[in-house]
Amino acid sequence: MRQQNGKKAEINPFLLRKWTYAFSTFFDINGNGSLEWKDFDTLAQIICATRGSRSHEYISAKLAFPEIWYSLTQAAGIDEAGKLSLDDWIALWKENRNGKWTKVYLDYMYTLFDASGDRLVDQAEYVQVMQYFSIDRETANHAFDQFAVGKDGTLLMAIDWKQFNELWKEYFHSTEHTAKGNYLLGCP
């Protein structure tokens, strides 16, 4: 699925910026410009060090990461020992926004953010997880306050699966600059 840089011009610049940010912040953990199995292993180590080897989050990560990696490599058309470039990542979002790998990753991220297992993501949980990805507390708090807003405009103490799912879709699909979901993974 190797893509030429010229094809990036066909993608809405705002989506391109969000997809690039998600790749660089949440996937390319070692910062080498590509996604590889080593990035998932490093993230698992970070979660283990923070929450412990017996934590629900660590066990979920260890179980979900192989499926996410397999699904990603299959969708990108590379072998599991390979690397996914930023261009591959962008092509995946452009051509396969609702593929199996996106569902597996969405489920995993919700589980990671819902540290207490109460089926809600509150601000403290959100901020803690964002710090795994080197997003500072102030930025994470601001982002949460932007997306955790009820239909009547009041701030919510937590969001549930349905809300998280809708915000996720907005983050990865919406070109609307005012969409609340743009803040789900930090400040756009």
pLDDT in tens, 125-144: 999 999 989 999 999 999 99
pLDDT confidence of 117, banded at 50, 70, 90? confident
How large a percentage of the chain has pLDDT more than 70?
A: 94
What the block records as the tokens of 117 is 């297992």
CATH code, domain with 102? 1.10.238.10
Q: What is the pLDDT of residues 99-112, one digit of tens each?
A: 788 888 899 899 88
Question: Please, which pLDDT band fits residue 3 given cuts at 50, 70 and 90?
Answer: very low
Does a structural domain hold residue 99? yes
Higher-confidence residue of 188 and 4: namely: 188
pLDDT value for 36: 94
Q: Containing domain of residue 73, as a range?
A: 5-183
What three-state secondary structure class fits 148?
A: coil
**Lowest-confidence segment of 72-81, 118-127, 173-182 by average pLDDT:** 72-81
pLDDT score recorded for residue 183: 97
- DSSP 3-state of 56: helix
Other Cβ atoms within 10 Å of 16 Cβ, number: 16
pLDDT at residue 2 in the model:
45
Q: Name the token pair of 103.
A: 């569902």
**112 located within any domain:** yes
∠ Cα 170 78 70 (to 5°): 65
Query: Are residues 120 and 129 in contact, defined by beta-carbon separation less than 8 angstroms?
Result: no
Q: Give the chain's mean pLDDT.
A: 90
In a domain, 188, yes or no: no
DSSP 3-state assignment of 157? coil
Q: Is the pLDDT of residue 28 over 60?
A: yes
Do residues 144 and 128 make contact, with C-beta atoms less than 8 angstroms apart?
Answer: no
Asked whether residue 93 is domain-assigned, the answer is yes
Residue 14 within a domain: yes
Confidence of residue 7 (pLDDT cuts 50, 70, 90): low
* Distance between CA atoms of residues 176 and 105, nearest Å: 23
Residue 25, pLDDT > 80, answer: yes
Is the residue at 105 inside a domain? yes
Nearest to 159 by CA among 61, 167, 182: 167
Residue 115: pLDDT band (50, 70, 90) is confident
Domain count, the chain: 1
In a domain, 78, yes or no: yes
Tens of pLDDT, residue by residue over 49-106, are: 988 999 888 998 999 999 999 988 888 888 888 899 999 999 888 886 677 888 888 9
